[in-house]
Amino acid sequence: MNEGINREILAVLDQYVKFYNEKNEEKIFSLFSKNVSGFGTEKDETVLNLAQFKERIRMDFNPSNAIQMNVKILATGGEMPVAWITGLCNYSGRISGKSIHMECRMTVVLANRGGRWLFEQVHFSLPGA
């Protein structure tokens, strides 16, 4: 992958983290394909389209939750029009008044659609779970 594409996809991931931490639904949703699919950390957390992804994010953004995330990039790869990022993420904060800290693994696949990189596939998992 060339350095320009690498910078572009990392910028999209940075936007995702920023918008997630700000609980900015509209901006997060603009980063995802209508056909996004993937898995979250919960046993039943499967997403097969943007509508289902929106439901999962809205649960995270429940007003009683105060969750912050950060990401450490382990690898990037791909070739136009598809690229991927592998990393580790940490979630911390409060869910329904209870303190949480989760260390997760993350893999995302992005596709360049009309000059924009969009998330097409996401996978978050808890090691050993």
The sheet with strand 116-125 has its strands ordered as 46-47, 32-39, 116-125, 98-113, 82-95, 66-79
**CA dist., res. 124 & res. 56, Å (int):** 13
pTM: 0.91
Per-residue pLDDT of the chain (129 residues), as tens digits, is: 899 999 999 999 999 999 999 999 999 999 999 999 999 888 888 999 999 999 999 988 888 788 899 999 999 999 999 999 999 999 999 888 889 898 999 999 999 999 999 999 999 998 875
Rg (the chain; Cα; Å) = 14
Is the domain 3-125 a CATH 1.10.287.70 member?
no
Max Cα separation, the chain? 45
Residue 65's pLDDT is 81
